[in-house]
Structure formats: C-alpha cells, structure tokens
Structure 1
Amino acid sequence: MPLLALDTSSDACSAAVMTDTTCFTAFELTPRAHTQLILPMVESVLKQANLELAQVDAIAFGRGPGAFTGVRIATGVAQGLALAANKLVLPISSLAALAQQAYQQLQAQKILVALDARMGEVYWGVFQVVAGQVQLQAEEQVLTPNAIELPKDVGWVAVGSGWSAYPELAERAAGLVTATCADWLPSAEFIAQLAWQDYQAGRAIPAEQAQPIYLRNKIAQTTQERLALKTR
C-alpha cells in the first residue's frame, strides 16, 4: 500500500513514499524555496520507489500548524496531485509528526512538542503513545511560552524549534524533561507513518475537503479583511 507524503509547514521541505517494506524520503532545510523544490522532491521519491503517481493509494500532507505560506503550499500541492490522479488525501498534524519521530527514534512515550510560531508564541501539543500510536492529549494550541500549562509528572521528551527559540520554556520544563531535540522540524517521513494509520482507519478524505490548520486566526485573515480593518 504505497502512500505519498509531503510537508512544507516549516523551514524544511520534504517528501516521502511509504511502501509495505520501505520509506523513500527527501528532506532539505530550504527556507523560502518550497515552491521550487516540492514537486521535484515528489518526483524524486516516486522514482526511488519505482512508482508513478497513479500507483499510490493516497496523498498525505502536513496540514499545519506551521508557517502560513508553507501550510498553504502543502495543501495546494497535495490537492492538485490528488485531483490529477483521482486520489484521496490525508491531512496530518505537523506537531503529531514530530511526536511520531520522537516515538520512532527515541522510543519516547510522552512527548511535548513546541514549534516556533514567531510573534513570541509557540505551536504547542502534548502527546502520549497509546497501544503503539501517538495520540494528542487535549488540543493543539498557539500560546506564549509563559502561558503554557505544563504537565505535573516527569519523564517527558521535548521536541521542536520552540524549545530553542524560547529558553524560558525550556527552563520551566527542566524538571519534567529527560531529553530535548530542539533542532527537529516536521518531516514527510513521519507524516507518512501517521497517514498509513489514518488510511487503515478509513480517515482519508476527498481532495476538495482538505483544509490547512493555522491555529492563529489573525494570520489567516484575507487581504480584504485586513484592508477593511485599516479603513475603520
């Protein structure tokens, strides 16, 4: 069951094809070059897997939260590819992808994900592994580091760029965290892993229903809305 996955929600740009036996990946740290790189990356991983787009079962993408423009690029590219090939899509949380990476690479069972959201805030998610699957606890949020309600227990793994961008958050969580990976960014490889679970559970949706997740509503205002606010 091959799946194609892509992500442009951060400064990293990535694509992956996951088959029954292997995951073929491409990952580059390329701020502001996502539009030029993502389609060649998709072609590259499909070629590595010896597949055509028509042969994948579904297309997964990082639906955010993350960089406003990057999340829109991933959604648009996934929709375009899916419509062209008549495939379903699987929107996957960029925060969950980081938690999945911590589970796979560090065997972490409890993960605190903080992505730098700029403007003095982080995208925040608390995850735990239940029956071998990463599950979100409560909801994803965008918060200032000091507004985050940290868990009371210990043994957490901290991942994501928010931990290095806001040292005060790391200081607050110092007694709870056993390991920190502050240089990690979302990757299509782990989006593919989560998408495989969602596909098996019947959560794939039609391409036209795919929506990005911004969390910060102010950024998602249209140009017309911003102009209207200025003229009031």
Structure 2
Amino acid sequence: MLSVSPSLRLLAFDTSTESLSVAVCDGARVLESSGPGGAQASSTLLPMVLDLLHQAGLALAQLDAIAFGCGPGSFTGLRTACSVAQGLAFGTRATRPEGVPLLPVDTLLAVADEARHVAGLTQVVAALDARMNEVYAGHYRFVDGHWLQEGDFDLLAPEALAVPDGWTLAGNAGAAYGARLAGAPGVAVLPLATAMLRVAPQLLAAGLAVPAEQALPRYVRNKVAKTTAERMAEKAAAP
C-alpha cells in the first residue's frame, strides 16, 4: 500500500462524483469524512474541511499541500473542488507568501489506488460513470511501488471499453452500466480523499504540485450543454 509520509501534513478532497470525500493527514494519523456530493458539495465541502483541520489541530498555512480531485468527473464537481482548493491556497498567502501548493490528482488514479487498497489489485481499468451513456476510463499498473498510467484517459460508450486479461475493472461504472460493460461488476470503489493522500507522495516527488493560479480541472468531455443557437440550427436542419 502506498503510505503517506509521516512528515507530510496534507489535506485532500474530491467532489467529482455523487459522493463528497475529505481527508487530512497531520503527519501521524489520517482523519476522514464523507457525505453527499453533487449539488450539495458546494455548501458542505468547506465546513467539512475546516472541521477536519480543527480536529487535526492544523492551520491551513501549516499544510505541505492541498490535494484535490481534478478530473475527470462531474463538471460542476470539478469546478467546486478546484475553486475551493484555490481559495484555501490564496487565503494562506497572508501568512505564507508563496501560499500552500496545490496538488491536482487524477480521479481515475485515485480509483486505481482505492482498488489496490481494498482488493490488492495492481492492474486496474479505472472507470467512472460519465453520464450520457459514456464512461471515463484509464489503465493503471502498480510497479515497484508506483503507479504507471498506460495511455491517456478515454471517454467512450460502455460497450467499447476493453478490460485486458489479467486486469480488473474498478470504479462506479460497473454499477451504472452492468452487462453493457466488459468485466462488470468488477470492484466498486470511488476516488476517495484517502486514496489521494496515499498517492500524494509519489506526485509530490514528481514535482506535480502547482501554485493556486495554475491549478485547473481536467476535463475529458469538452462540452455537455448545447447553446440555444446550436439547438435551433439542429432543429432547422432536421428533416
């Protein structure tokens, strides 16, 4: 299991799915909390973060990094996580000029590590429900204590996702699409904040932490809603 360095003080949270997950590592222990995500995340995330920091006896400016689920996932959820992370980091600049660095964590990587944490998997096809009859997917292998991603993220129909021999499907896509998805049901896990804490040392060592102004969500689907003009054009072109 990837372990959190005992010297690191980290905050992590994810709002990319219908579940909200928050965790804090104070250097010696991990505290976690969860709740409903979706539309409620924008109002409950910050109080949950502040409560866990209070329990840990940590001030924001004492953190070594703030990790957040950058995507793929719900557009609204990704924007919520990124904006809260940026706000927290900017807020620390009053006492820490450079601010607390932010660590964007791919949600599919968190899914892969959660699958390894609960089921010992080392070859994972991480897949999350992307709605609109599609899934977000990524292939991950755990080698020599580190995760390696094979290829880039995919956005595709459930039937088009291949699960190679020796690999295991993990995430929430199996529950959403059932028999339409190869390898379903697989291992039902979510991109939890505790998984982000476990992968944080690897990502920090790779230099992937960024200042608040450079932190961005990672969208895989470029667009969900059509403009009024686009809908009118499609209607006019219809036979």
TM-score, normalised with respect to structure 1 = 0.88
Q: Does residue 199 of the first structure (1) align with residue 200 of the second (2)?
A: no
SS at match of 1:48: helix
Sort the Cα spacing of 1:14 and 1:226 in 2 relative to 1 into closer, same or farther, 3 A. Answer: same
Q: 2:79 and 2:37 mapped to 1: Cα distance?
A: 16
RMSD: 1.9
Q: 1:17 — aligned with what?
A: 24
Q: Does residue 145 of the first structure (1) align with residue 151 of the second (2)?
A: no
Q: Does residue 100 of the first structure (1) align with residue 106 of the second (2)?
A: no
Alignment of 1:54-65 (within 5 A): 54-65=61-72
In structure 2, list runs of 5 or more residues that go unmatched: 1-7, 93-98, 234-239
Query: What is the CA-CA distance between 1:227 and the residue it aligns to?
Result: 4.2
- Deviations 1:73-109 (CA, angstroms, capped at 9, x unpaired): 0000001111111111110011110111111222211
The answer to whether the 8 A contact 2:17-2:37 is kept is no
Q: 1:113 — aligned with what?
A: 126
Q: Does residue 162 of the first structure (1) align with residue 167 of the second (2)?
A: no
TM-score, normalised with respect to structure 2 = 0.85
Q: 1:72 — aligned with what?
A: 79
Give the letter aligned to residue 94 of structure 1. T
- Deviations 1:169-210 (CA, angstroms, capped at 9, x unpaired): 44x336xxxx8223x222111112222321233221111111
Partner of residue 187 from structure 2, selected from 170, 175, 181: 181
Higher Rg: 2
Q: 2:216 and 2:201 mapped to 1: Cα distance?
A: 19
Query: What is the CA-CA distance between 1:5 and the residue it aligns to?
Result: 0.9
SS at match of 2:221: coil
Q: 2:60 — aligned with what?
A: 53
Percent identity of paired positions between Structure 1 and Structure 2: 40
Partner of residue 126 from structure 1, selected from 127, 139, 151: 139
The runs of at least 4 consecutive aligned structure 1 residues that moved more than 6 Å come to none
Q: 2:140 and 2:117 mapped to 1: Cα distance?
A: 13
The answer to whether the 8 A contact 2:168-2:183 is kept is no
Q: 2:209 and 2:89 mapped to 1: Cα distance?
A: 12
Q: 1:210 and 1:229 mapped to 2: Cα distance?
A: 31
Q: 1:42 — aligned with what?
A: 49
Q: 2:132 and 2:206 mapped to 1: Cα distance?
A: 37
The answer to whether the 8 A contact 1:2-1:55 is kept is yes
Q: Does residue 210 of the first structure (1) align with residue 215 of the second (2)?
A: yes
The answer to whether the 8 A contact 1:102-1:157 is kept is no
Aligned residues: 220
SS at match of 2:223: coil
The answer to whether the 8 A contact 2:12-2:194 is kept is yes
